[in-house]
């Protein structure tokens, strides 16, 4: 009789920081009701970091969505005949899986979903997005969540969470993405996540193992700093801007070249062109970083803020939220899955 407000925590468990975002859905309105982050001081500290992030965000709900990524997770896209019923599609996927999954199928959890995308000819093509993750990876993540007192609701992958956050941001800000091909780049601590959306649908996924930590190490070496000092200088270089930019230039070029290679591969494979790039990650606070990357990409390059245009509950520090939002897209994307759940 009465609509019930639904709430979901998006938990991005990174190698250096745990980020938590709580979203609530009341009828058709999504509201950010809490967020927090905490450093991870080693693999044995993850549970503590989760509790600390939730405590900082004043998050008391229990249902949680999280993600897995890395070398124990694979995402593959492959064409299938159109018009297959669910049973036929399942049979096709099971038969093709050994060709795409580089693990023993008895040791993985596997899922897939069909998509329809336009071809260069203008025709529509049916594809399957296949995701496989080592079972031990999933079980370890579930165990940590339950130990932290949470109830696992779903486990996603970083690229899809990034895409979902971008879709929500676009909707919140009246931006149409259905007629564009957009590359999303999230620069994390150890890796950079790349996803390409074709008319709003995920059509490419890749992870490159270069990230903020490489920049931090380059600064530490240049200035003979400890890691904490180097990280502070990376986001707030002040009068040392020119020296810091020079220190991280090679890392930025490495990231930019890997992304450019991914885009070139995609454009050659699908005979189409990426229209623009959107960059996220805490390192985007470095002045002019997006412009520097744009010069490497030779494409329009923008920064985006997943909290922009979103309803924010009273009691949430909006100024701090917007300051930190660049590192929250994966957590936001995970929590946004409450739109698609009953």
Percentages (nearest 5) of helix, strand, coil residues in the chain: 45, 30, 25
38 and 158 in a single domain? The answer is yes
Q: Are residues 186 and 88 in the same domain?
A: no
**294 neighbors 340 (Cβ within 8 angstroms):** no
One domain for residues 59 and 208:
no
Both 311 and 224 in one domain: the answer is no
Which residues fall within 8 angstroms of residue 119, CB to CB, at 6 or more apart?
125
190 within a domain of the structure (yes/no): yes
Please report, to the nearest 10 degrees, the dihedral formed by the alpha carbons of residues 341, 112, 140, 186 taken in order. Answer: -80
**CATH at 87:** 3.30.1490.300
In-domain check, residue 286: yes
How many independent structural domains does the chain possess? Answer: 3
**Residues 198, 274 share a domain:** yes
Statement to judge: residues 246 and 299 lie in one domain: yes
Say yes or no: 217 and 311 in one domain. no
Do 283 and 194 belong to one domain? yes
Q: 114-152 pLDDT, tens per residue?
A: 888 766 655 667 889 999 999 999 999 999 999 999 999
What pLDDT is recorded for position 5?
63
Q: Is the pTM here over 0.85, yes or no?
A: yes
- Find out whether 69 and 193 touch, Cβ atoms under 8 Å: yes
pLDDT for 1 equals 33
Low pLDDT (below 70) residues in the chain? 1-5, 43, 118-124, 341-342
Buried b (16+ CB within 10 A) or exposed e, 167-204: bbbbeeeeeebeeebbbbbbbbbebbbbbbbbebbbbb
Question: 87 burial class (0-12, 13-18, 19+ CB within 10 angstroms)?
Answer: exposed
Residue-wise DSSP of 136-147: HHHHHHHHHHHH
319: CATH: 3.30.420.40
Give per-residue burial for 276-302: e unless 16+ CB within 10 Å, then b. ebbbbbbbbebeebbebbbebbebebe
Q: Are residues 168 and 57 in the same domain?
A: yes
Q: 252 with 334, same domain?
A: no
Residue 229's CB is within 10 A of a number of other CB atoms, namely 14
Q: Name which of 181, 185, 167 is nearest 269 in CA terms.
A: 181
CB 148 within 8 A of CB 47: yes
- 105 within a domain of the structure (yes/no): yes
Q: Which residues contact 131 (CB under 8 A, 6 or more apart)?
A: 73, 74, 75, 110, 111, 112, 157
Task: Evaluate whether residue 39 is within a structural domain.
Answer: yes
Q: Is 282 within the bounds of a domain?
A: yes
Residue 128 domain boundaries: 73-134
Tell me the HSE value of 270 on the side-chain side, using a 13 A CA sphere.
Answer: 26
Helix H or strand E segment including 205 = strand 201-208
Report the length, in residues, of the chain.
Answer: 342
Q: What is the per-residue pLDDT across 183-225, written as a single tens digit (0 to 9) for each?
A: 999 999 999 999 999 988 899 999 999 999 999 999 999 999 9
Element (H, E) at 157: strand 151-157
Task: Answer whether residue 1 is part of any domain.
Answer: no
Bridge partners for 130 per DSSP: 76, 112
Query: What pLDDT is stored for residue 115 in this prediction?
Result: 86
Distance CA 213, CA 15 (A): 10
């Amino acid at each position: 009789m009465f609509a019930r407000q639904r709430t979901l925590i998006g938990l991005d468990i990174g190698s250096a920081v745990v980020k938590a975002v709580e979203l609530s859905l009341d009828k058709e309105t999504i509201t950010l009701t809490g967020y927090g982050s905490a450093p991870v001081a080693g693999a044995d500290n993850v549970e503590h970091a989760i509790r600390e992030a939730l405590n900082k965000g004043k998050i008391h709900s229990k249902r949680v969505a999280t993600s897995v990524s890395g070398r124990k997770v694979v995402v593959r896209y492959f064409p299938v005949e159109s018009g297959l019923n669910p049973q036929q599609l399942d049979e096709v996927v099971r038969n093709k899986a050994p060709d795409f999954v580089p693990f023993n199928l008895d040791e993985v959890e596997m899922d897939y979903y069909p998509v329809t995308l336009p071809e260069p000819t203008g025709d529509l093509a049916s594809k399957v997005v296949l995701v496989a993750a080592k079972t031990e990876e999933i079980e370890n993540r579930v165990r940590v969540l339950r130990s932290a007192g949470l109830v696992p609701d779903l486990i996603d992958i970083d690229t899809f969470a990034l895409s979902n956050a971008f879709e929500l941001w676009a909707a919140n800000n009246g931006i149409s993405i259905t007629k564009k091909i957009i590359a999303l780049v999230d620069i994390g601590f150890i890796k950079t996540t790349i996803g390409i959306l074709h008319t709003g649908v995920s059509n490419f996924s890749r992870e490159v193992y270069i990230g903020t930590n490489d920049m931090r190490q380059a600064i530490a070496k240049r200035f003979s700093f400890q890691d904490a000092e180097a990280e502070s200088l990376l986001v707030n270089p002040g009068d040392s801007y020119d020296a810091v930019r020079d220190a991280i230039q090679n890392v930025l070029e490495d990231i930019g070249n890997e992304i450019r290679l991914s885009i070139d591969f995609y454009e050659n494979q699908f005979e189409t062109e990426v229209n623009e790039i959107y960059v996220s990650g805490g390192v985007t606070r470095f002045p002019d970083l997006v412009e520097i990357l744009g010069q490497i990409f030779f494409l329009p390059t923008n920064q985006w803020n997943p909290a922009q245009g979103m309803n924010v509950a009273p009691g949430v520090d909006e100024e701090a939220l917007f300051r930190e939002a660049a590192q929250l897209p994966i957590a936001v994307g995970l929590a946004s899955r409450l739109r698609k759940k009953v």
